[in-house]
Structure formats: C-alpha cells, structure tokens
C-alpha cells in the first residue's frame, strides 16, 4: 500500500487568490492511500520543503504529490527533497493547479476549486502506481562542432579551443570571416573591421585545437547530446590545397567574369579566385558553375599534346599556378569529400543575410545608384571595387547628395515585423565616415525614429547631427528616377509637418537582416525550430538565450536574431561556455522517462520503427530468426509515439505506464 | 501644398548664419520638444517657437519665416536653456534669429517702442505709474539712472548709433 502525501500550495495569491486551498486539502484527505494532506503559502520555500522532508522522515509518506505550479520549473526542487530523504526521486507527481487552473479561471472561484480537486484526484491516482526509475549516464565525446565561421563562430571556436577542447569549425565559404569581413569600419568606435577581425581569424586558423573546415557544409547530424555523429561535406575546390600557396596567379590568369559575392555583386571576380585578400585560409578555389573549361580542359579529361609545340595543352589557371596545385586531368568528385566527425556538443553560428534591393519595387531598385548598405560598405572599403574611392556606380562620379533610408523591410508587415537593430547605427557610421572624408557632401537620413540603445551609441548619433548630417523623421514613400541617373526621394518631415523631396545622386537602403533562404535544411538536420521572426529559436528568451530545444545544440550570433558585433561576441562566448559544460562533465544524464520494448510481447511487426521521429528504433534478429524492436536509450526522447502505436502493447514509456495513465483517466472521469 | 525640395534649399548657409549670430547650438537640436513644453511663446499661442523655429532654420527655411513676429514675444525667461537635454541653448538661437530679423528690418511693431525708448532714455520700458509709487514710498520720482541724465543718454545714443543697431537706420 502506497502512503501518499498531498501538499497544496497557495503560490502567494497566484493559486490562493482563486482556489479555496483549504477545501482542496480537505478533499485530498479523503482520497485512497492518502496518509497526510497539508497546505502552505509557498511549498517551494525552505519551510515548505521541510514539511515534506519531515513527513518522509516520520515514515508517514512514501509517495509525494505537490499541487502547485508547473513541473517545468519546480519538479527538480521537489525531486531533490525526495532524493535527500532516501526515496526514489521519481516517486513524485506534480498537480498543476496554477497554470492549468487558477490562471485560466481567475474569475470562477468555485469552478477553479472544483477543477483543482479533479487535478489532485488524477495526480494521486497516478502516484499510487508510481514505480522507481533509474537515471543512466553516457560518456561525452570530447570535441565540439561550430557551424559558421563568422565573428560568432570564430569566437565560439576560440573560446572552446582555449578551454582545451577539440573544435571543428565549419564554414561554407572558402574563408572564415563572415559578413564582418565585408565591413569597412565598425560603430561606435570606427575601428577598421579587417584590422580587428584579421588577427582573430589568424588565431582561429592556427589554433592547435581548431580544425578549420572551410568551403564545407554540414551534410547530416545524427545522435544526441554528448555523442553527435556529423557528416561534413568538403566542397570540391578543384585545387590541391596542400600545394596552393594563395598567390592568386590562377585568379589573374582566369578569363571568366562572374558577380563577386564578397563585393556584394558590385564588381566581378574570376572563376578561379581567392575569397578576399585577408582570407583564412588563403587558398584558391575554382567556381565550377562559372568555369568555362578553357582549352577544353574539363575536369578529368586527358591532357592533349599540342602538335605545334609538342607541349601539353593546359588551361590558363593550370599554366599560371607556380605550385602545381591545379591539374585538371585528375578526375575528382564534383560532390567533394565526406568527413565523419564525432562531437559532444554543437554551436550553431550560421549568421544572416541582408535583403536584396530588388524586393523593394517602389525604391527604384533597377537604378545602379540605389545601393544596399552592405554594397555601400564595399564601395567605401579599401578592398572594395573602387579601392575605397567614393564613386557612384552609374558614371564613376563623386556624389554630392546622398540619401539614407532606414527600416527597408524591417518594421513592415509586408516583410519583417521586427527591428533589425543595427541599421540605425551602421547608417550613421557610414554617413559620418563619408562626411568626415567629404565635408561638402549633403547627407540626408530618413528614420521612423533613431534607435541607439547601446554603449556610446547615442553620443555617436548626436555627433553626426553636429557634423551637419541631416536627420529627418519620417519613412520614405518612394523613389523616382531623374535624368542623369539621379533619384528623387519622396518623403515627409514629421517635425516640419511637411512633404519633402530630395534630389539625390546616390540612395542607400538599410535592408532588413534575415536568415538565409537555404538554412532550413540545416535546421531540419539539427531538429531546430524557427521563431515567429524566422530566426533560430532559443530555449527561453531570457534565461536560456543560447540553448535550444535540442540538448547539446547551442546558438550564437545573428542566426538567433539580429544583433551587433559586441552582442554577437558576447553571445558567442556564452554559447561556448554552455557548450563546454557537457564536455567538462565528461558524461551526460539520460532521462529515464523513455520507452522500452518488452521482448516477450513484441511480435516483430516493425510498425514502430518508421514512426519514431528520432530514429531510435531498430529491428534486431534474435535466436530462432525472430525479429524484435530495440530502442536505443540515448536517442529516445520519450515522446510515446511507439507506445501508442504498438498493436501488442509491448512498449512501455517509463513514468507514463499504462496502469498509471488508466488510473489518471479513471480519477478524472469516474 | 507642394512638397518642399530640401536638396534645393540653402540649408548650410542658413545654419551658418544662425551660428554667426550667436546660435551655435542649432546643430545640436534633436527635436525632443522639451523647450516648447515650457515656452511662454508657445503657451501664448504664437506659431513659431522653440524646436519648430529650429527645425525651420535647420531645413533652410528663412525667407518664409523672416517676417514672423513670434520670436519677438520671447520673454528671455531662459527656461528652455535650463531644460534643454542637449545644451543647445535654445534662447541663444531665438535671439540669433531675432538679430537676423533685425538686420532685415523685420522687427515686430511691438518691439519698436521699447527700442526707441532705449535710444531716448536708456530704458526699454519706462512706466508713468511707477513715478507715483516711488513718491508714495518717499523716493525720487525717477531712479538715478540715465533716465534724467542727458550726458548718459548721449553716451547711450552714441553707442547704439555706432553699433550694429545703428546700421539699421531706425534711430
């Protein structure tokens, strides 16, 4: 016979203000197997816990029901009480009479009290049938994977590596660096972006604990916290990176011209190219989508000998390479190579992209003089298409009047409802850099409102005002094209309460930050969910900002939401610290609330196998050729799908057994 | 009303003129409206006060507001200077604008009488009523200032006629 103790909590006025707690306590006393029934203002307080402790000590109670708030936050506290008194900690059941009762029926005291009694009935019914469960542990693979080699991924990788952990840093582009490597200067200090980033990139590239896997993508992820099996596809570079010295001769020899992603498509690059001058690693790749196979030198084709010269006919890139790193006669797999790695934890730092201007038809996207802010960033950068000279694209003349438009695609129901957070500041930065260099430049900036919530941010903004940069409150309605590729910005000045127009030589659009279109497959591979804004969803917006619903997978940087560089670095280091915890512990706990197959009952029908969303079930052959289902405990998440599907009722979900659930249903319905 | 083409306005010139006339804070204004909230000119129902005047000047509006009399209603109370979060010294900007108006002889009629009185007596405001009050408490009917001192008045007139105000040719 179980000895069930029921403890009803007031939760201050959260429950006590609605539910008649004393009446619920009295009712619990009448239930079968209930030996004590008590109430307290806060059961989770030290004195509250002490009541339970004492009853266990006195031998009055061996199963505990607390009727209070949610097990999500409070179950661990009460389980610890049981454990401390030598009881199996799973001899505990929580009746949620707050979230599921007093909060939703605040205006119906009698109804809420009656419902609280029912919820307690159900919890007590289950508690009478509780069985002891045991937590298991598995060892953790001592390595981490960081996906994304932007500033977030670099810092997460460095942090983990400096703690002594092996790190695989995967980046899809040929070089690490991400968007920060494309920026000219950074607000609010106007540090040169490359100057502060390059040393960190070099650190990551040379760290003994970091294995840099650039031009690579995650192909598949299996396993669970502590033991992830990851397949990484190293994309085919068509250049032997062991030999490549990064001299760039192949890029100069290559005759192809294709849009240069690094310069935001403002100019062209060759098919054989090095990502950017400070690339880490500084290795060339051949973009086979753009390559025209000069001289018929398709990859894997036999080398022909020229009849005239008697020398082999080679493509310009092959001829140019002084390191013999390019040999187009070698047949290589276009799909690249697959690398298997095992890691204990994963940090996702896949970054973002800015919206392209083409989306905004009313803002003259076809004009070459309408740029996204990232394009302007490249235009004023010393490594950009003009070598840092500020020239407008249509005629390479220096602009005299320039308009900045904020919130393009942000705070707009048609595109993204969120604020992209960094646009106000980077636009002010760009305006200040230009005004410093060209004091005669007329700069107009259109804002719905200027948002500068950061250290030294508002001072940075007011400094722009004093430099003579014109700040105008009001969202721009549209842009007309004028002769000579000039642009008429049609706007409103809320402070003047008047429609205004500006004839500009150049217009800059602060387009919204969003997740890359091709990120969804990765989200699926990792079982990550997206939030309402379309970014990766953290486990809790305040208390678990780097954790995800998938244990062992953490988030850093803009893939979790728009943020500036300081916030990104802070989150990257936070994610690394969180990801290091399982590695440092060396083993992870397996929740016992998982399913197990009763081999005697299993008929081997195999219905459960394809239903399992976690791939935890396999069919194994036993003596006499009998097939039986086996559940891998490290992969099972205890969802219960197999349990309900099994026609032989051969699968038990521990902690939610059939007799426990039937007892609960009976208590609620009889 | 047609849209105002800002790029065709001479904003830099107007801002520079305001600065040259003593309103250096014009580029600091962030249009927060704090000055307007305490301004007697705004409370009295005049149309062009504090931040709105500054916005007009920032955006190069000069010709169209030069004749506006609101600025002459400024009581020089300096509450705006105290409350401004940007230390833009709004009162200084209002007075800079007044100086610019005066140069264009765009002086409110309400300001002429005090100016002429200042030229004649050294006092912008004199009061007949105060003479009686002074006598009642045993004082001379006039204070011992320039008001009854011809020599002092001459000196004041010399100063005024040879300063920027003299150039206006109103005395």
Q: CB–CB of A61/A128 below 8 Å?
A: no
Asked if residue B16 and residue B80 are part of one domain, the reply reads yes
B89 CB neighbours in chain A (<8 A) are none
A438-473, pLDDT tens digit by residue?
Answer: 999 999 999 999 999 999 999 999 999 999 999 999
Do B118 and B36 share a domain, yes or no?
Answer: no
Q: Examine residue B2 and state whether it is found in any structural domain, yes or no.
A: no
Give me A81's structure tokens: 């009480």
Shortest CA gap A466–chain B (Å): 5
Q: Closest partner residue to B3 among A401, A462, A500, by Cβ?
A: A500
Among B1, B2, B7, B23, most A C-beta atoms within 10 A, so best to mutate, is: B7
Please give the Cα distance from A103 to A649 (Å, whole number). 37
- Strand A268-269 vs strand A143-147: parallel, antiparallel, or unpaired? unpaired
If DSSP codes are grouped into helix, strand and coil, which group holds residue A454? Answer: coil
Q: In this structure, are B134 and B88 located in the same domain?
A: no
What is the rounded average pLDDT for all residues in chain A? 95
Residues whose CB is less than 8 angstroms from the CB of residue A337 and which lie 6 or more positions away in sequence, other chains included = A233, A234, A236
User: Buried (b) or exposed (e) across A404-443, using 16+ Cβ within 10 A?
Assistant: bbbbbbbbeeebbebbbbbbbbbbbbbbbbbbeeeeebbb
User: Please, which residues have CB within 8 angstroms of residue B129's CB and are 6 or more apart in sequence?
Assistant: none
Among A6, A149, A155, A130, residue whose Cα is nearest residue A68:
A6
CA distance B61 to chain A (A): 10
pTM of this prediction?
0.83
Question: Taking CB atoms and an 8 Å limit, are A501 and B51 in contact across chains?
Answer: no
Q: What percent of chain A has pLDDT over 90?
A: 93
Please count the structural domains in chain B.
2
- Within-domain flag for B5: no
pLDDT over 70 at A89, yes or no: yes
Residues A138 and A161 sit within 8 Å (Cβ to Cβ): no
Contact A470 B58 (CB under 8 A): yes
Architecture per CATH, domain A353-514, reads as: 3-Layer(bba) Sandwich (3.50)
Q: Are residues B160 and B113 in the same domain?
A: yes
pLDDT band, residue B1 (cuts 50/70/90): low
pLDDT value of position B5 = 84
Q: Do the chains contact at A498 and B3, CB–CB below 8 Å?
A: yes
CB pair distance less than 8 Å for B28 and A466: yes
Q: Could you tell me if B72 and B132 lie in one domain?
A: no
- B88 and B123 share a domain? no
Indicate yes or no: CB of A498 within 8 angstroms of CB of B58: no
B110-159 confidence digits (pLDDT tens):
888 888 899 999 988 888 888 888 899 999 888 888 988 999 999 999 99
Packing angle, helices B11-20 and B50-58, rounded to 10: 130
B95 and B117 both lie in a single domain:
no
Tens of pLDDT, residue by residue over B49-80, are: 988 999 999 999 888 999 999 999 998 999 99
Between CA A275 and CA A173 the distance in angstroms is 8
State the smallest CA–CA distance between residue B24 and chain A in angstroms: 10
Question: How many whole angstroms separate alpha carbon A384 and alpha carbon A184?
Answer: 9
> How many angstroms away from the CA of B142 is the closest CA of chain A?
48
Together in a domain, B49 and B35: yes
Indicate the DSSP class of residue A403: E
Cα separation, A511 vs A426, whole angstroms: 11
Give the one of B6, B51, B61 whose C-beta lies nearest to A501's C-beta.
Answer: B6
The per-residue pLDDT for A169 is: 98
Report the pLDDT value the prediction gives residue A425, as an integer from 0 to 100.
Answer: 97
- CATH 3.30.70.20 domain position(s) in chain A: 595-654
Could you list the residue range(s) of the whole structural domain that residue B132 is in? 109-168
Query: A579: which 2 tokens?
Result: 């990801």
B98 and B122 co-located in one domain:
no
Residue A255 pLDDT level (bands cut at 50, 70, 90): very high
Beta strand pairing call for A166-170 and A210-213: parallel
Rounded mean pLDDT of A182-199?
96
Quickly state the pLDDT bin for A269 (edges 50, 70, 90): very high
| A401 → chain B, closest CA residue | B7
Fold of the CATH domain A4-127: Rossmann fold (3.40.50)
Residues A128 and A130: their CA atoms lie apart, in Å, by 6
Paired with A169 in beta bridges are A146, A212
Instruction: Please tell me the distance in Å from A489's CA to the nearest CA on chain B.
Output: 9
Per-position DSSP letters for A504-554, written without gaps between them: ESEEEEEEPEE--GGGHHHHHHHT--B-TTSSBPPSBTTTBSSB-SSTTEE
**B18 and B97 share one domain:** yes
Among the partner-chain residues B7, B15, B28, the one whose CB lies closest to the CB of A502 is B7
Mean pLDDT of A217-245: 95
Give pLDDT, residue A10.
97
Cβ of residue B1 closer than 8 Å to a chain A Cβ: yes
Confidence of residue B166 (pLDDT cuts 50, 70, 90): confident
Last residue of one domain, picked from the residues B88, B103, B118: B103
pLDDT digits (tens, 9 = 90+) for A201-227: 999 999 999 999 999 999 999 888 999
Contact with chain B for residue A439, Cβ under 8 A: no
Cα separation of A575 and A159, whole Å?
A: 9
Could you tell me the fold of the domain covering A595-654?
Alpha-Beta Plaits (3.30.70)
Q: Could you tell me if B76 and B118 lie in one domain? A: no
- Interface check for B32 against chain A (CB to CB < 8 A): the answer is no
* Mean pLDDT computed over A267-295: 96
Residues of chain A with CATH 3.50.50.60: 353-514
The answer to whether the Cα torsion of A321, A325, A331, A332 is positive or negative is negative
Does A493 lie at the interface with B, CB-CB under 8 angstroms? yes
Q: What is the pLDDT of residue A395?
A: 95
Q: Of A468, A470, A498, which is closest to B4 when you measure between CB atoms?
A: A498
**For B4, which DSSP code?**
E
Burial degree of A214 (CB within 10 A; 0-12, 13-18, 19+)? buried
**How far apart, in Å, do the first and last CA atoms of chain A sit?**
22
User: Helices (DSSP H) in A108-150: which residue ranges?
Assistant: 109-128
Residues B23, B63 within the same domain: yes
Residue in B1, B5, B61 closest to A503 by CB: B5
The confidence band for A385, taking pLDDT boundaries of 50, 70 and 90, is very high
Report the 10 Å Cβ neighbour count for B154: 11
Where a domain ends, among B103, B137, B156?
Answer: B103
What residue ranges of chain A are covered by domains with CATH 3.40.50? 4-127
Residues of A in contact with B5 (CB under 8 A): 500-503
Rounded mean pLDDT, A274-300:
95
pLDDT digits (tens, 9 = 90+) for A528-559: 999 999 999 999 999 999 999 899 999 999 99
Looking at B103, B119, B139, the residue that finishes a domain is B103
**pLDDT mean over A577-593:** 95
8 Å CB contact of B3 and A502: no
Contacts of A496 in chain B (CB under 8 A): 4, 55-56, 59, 61
Note whether B116 contacts A: Cβ–Cβ < 8 A: no
Does B6 sit within 8 Å of A502, measured CB to CB? yes
- Chain A interface test: which of B6, B10, B13, B48 (most A C-beta within 10 Å): B6
Q: What number is the average pLDDT over the span A500-514?
A: 96
* Chain A residues close to B1, C-beta within 8 Å: 498-499
Asked if B55 and A493 come within 8 Å (Cβ–Cβ), the reply is yes
């Amino acid at each position: 016979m179980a000895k069930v103790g029921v403890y009803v909590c007031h939760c201050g006025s959260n429950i006590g203000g609605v539910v008649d707690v004393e009446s619920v306590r009295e009712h619990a006393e009448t239930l079968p197997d209930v030996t004590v029934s008590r109430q307290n203002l806060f059961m989770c307080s030290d004195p509250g816990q002490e009541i339970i402790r004492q009853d266990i000590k006195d031998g009055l109670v061996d199963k505990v029901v607390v009727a209070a708030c949610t097990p999500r936050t409070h179950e661990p506290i009460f389980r610890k009480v049981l454990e401390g008194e030598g009881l199996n900690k799973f001899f505990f059941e929580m009746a949620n009479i707050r979230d599921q009762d007093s909060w939703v029926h605040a205006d119906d005291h009698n109804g809420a009290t009656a419902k609280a009694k029912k919820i307690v009935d159900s919890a007590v019914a289950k508690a009478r049938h509780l069985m002891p469960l045991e937590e298991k542990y598995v060892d953790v693979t001592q390595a981490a994977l960081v996906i994304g080699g932007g500033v977030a991924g670099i810092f997460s990788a460095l942090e983990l590596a400096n703690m002594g952990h092996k790190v695989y840093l995967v980046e899809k582009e040929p070089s690490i660096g991400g968007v920060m490597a494309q920026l000219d200067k950074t607000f609010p200090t106007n540090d040169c972006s490359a100057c502060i980033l390059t040393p960190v990139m070099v650190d990551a590239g040379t760290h003994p604990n970091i294995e840099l896997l650039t031009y690579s993508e995650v192909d598949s992820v299996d396993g669970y916290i502590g033991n992830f099996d990851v397949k990484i596809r190293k994309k085919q570079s068509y250049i032997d990176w062991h030999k490549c010295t990064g001299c760039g001769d192949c890029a100069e020899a290559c005759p192809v011209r294709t849009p240069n992603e690094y310069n935001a498509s403002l100019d062209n690059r060759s098919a054989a190219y090095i990502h950017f001058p400070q690339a880490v690693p500084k290795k060339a790749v051949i973009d086979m989508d753009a390559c025209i196979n000069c001289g018929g030198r398709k990859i894997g084709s036999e080398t022909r000998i020229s009849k005239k010269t008697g020398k082999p006919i080679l493509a310009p890139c092959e001829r140019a390479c002084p390191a013999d790193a390019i040999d187009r006669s070698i047949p290589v797999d276009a799909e690249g190579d697959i690398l298997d790695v095992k890691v204990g934890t994963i940090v996702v730092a896949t970054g973002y992209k800015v919206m392209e201007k083409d989306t905004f038809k009313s803002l003259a996207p076809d004009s070459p003089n309408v740029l996204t802010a990232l394009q302007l960033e490249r235009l004023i950068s010393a490594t950009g298409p003009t070598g840092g000279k500020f020239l407008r694209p249509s005629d390479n003349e220096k602009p005299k009047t320039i308009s900045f438009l904020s919130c393009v695609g942000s705070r707009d129901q048609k595109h993204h409802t969120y604020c992209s957070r960094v646009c106000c500041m980077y636009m002010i930065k760009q305006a200040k850099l230009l005004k410093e260099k060209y004091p005669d430049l007329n700069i107009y900036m259109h804002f719905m409102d200027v948002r500068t919530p950061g250290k030294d941010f508002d001072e940075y903004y007011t400094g722009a005002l004093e430099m003579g940069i014109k700040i105008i409150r009001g969202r721009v309605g549209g842009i007309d094209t004028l002769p000579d590729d000039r642009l008429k910005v049609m706007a409103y000045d809320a402070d003047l309460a008047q429609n205004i127009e500006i004839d500009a030589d150049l217009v800059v659009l602060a387009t919204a930050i969003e997740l890359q279109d091709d990120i969804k497959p990765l989200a699926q591979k990792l079982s990550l969910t997206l939030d309402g804004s379309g970014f990766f969803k953290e486990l809790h917006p305040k208390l678990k900002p780097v954790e995800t619903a998938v244990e062992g997978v953490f988030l850093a940087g803009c893939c979790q939401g728009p943020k500036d560089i300081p916030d990104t670095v802070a989150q990257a280091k936070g994610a690394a610290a969180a990801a290091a915890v399982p590695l440092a512990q060396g083993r992870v706990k397996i929740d016992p609330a998982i399913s197990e197959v009763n081999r005697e009952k299993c008929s081997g029908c195999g219905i459960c196998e394809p239903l399992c969303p976690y791939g935890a079930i396999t069919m194994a052959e036993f003596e006499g050729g009998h097939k039986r289902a086996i559940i891998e405990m490290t992969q099972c998440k205890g969802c219960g799908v197999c349990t309900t599907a099994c026609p032989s009722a051969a699968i038990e979900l521990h902690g939610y057994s059939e007799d426990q659930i039937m007892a609960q249903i009976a208590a609620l319905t009889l | 009303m047609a849209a105002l083409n800002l790029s065709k306005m001479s904003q830099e010139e107007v801002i520079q003129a305001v600065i040259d006339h003593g309103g250096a804070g014009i580029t600091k204004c962030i249009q927060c409206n704090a000055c307007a909230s305490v301004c007697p000119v705004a409370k009295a129902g005049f149309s062009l006060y504090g931040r709105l005047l500054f916005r007009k000047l920032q955006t190069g509006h000069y010709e169209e507001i030069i004749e506006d009399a609101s600025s002459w209603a400024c009581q020089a109370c300096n509450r705006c200077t105290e409350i401004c979060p940007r230390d833009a010294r709004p009162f200084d900007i209002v007075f800079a604008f007044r100086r610019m108006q005066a140069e264009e002889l765009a002086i409110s009629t309400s300001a002429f009488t005090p100016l002429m009185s200042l030229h004649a007596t050294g006092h912008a405001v004199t009061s007949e009523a105060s003479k009686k009050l002074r006598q009642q408490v045993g004082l001379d009917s006039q204070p011992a200032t320039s008001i009854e001192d011809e020599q002092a008045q001459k000196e004041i007139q010399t100063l005024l006629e040879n300063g920027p105000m003299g150039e206006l040719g109103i005395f």
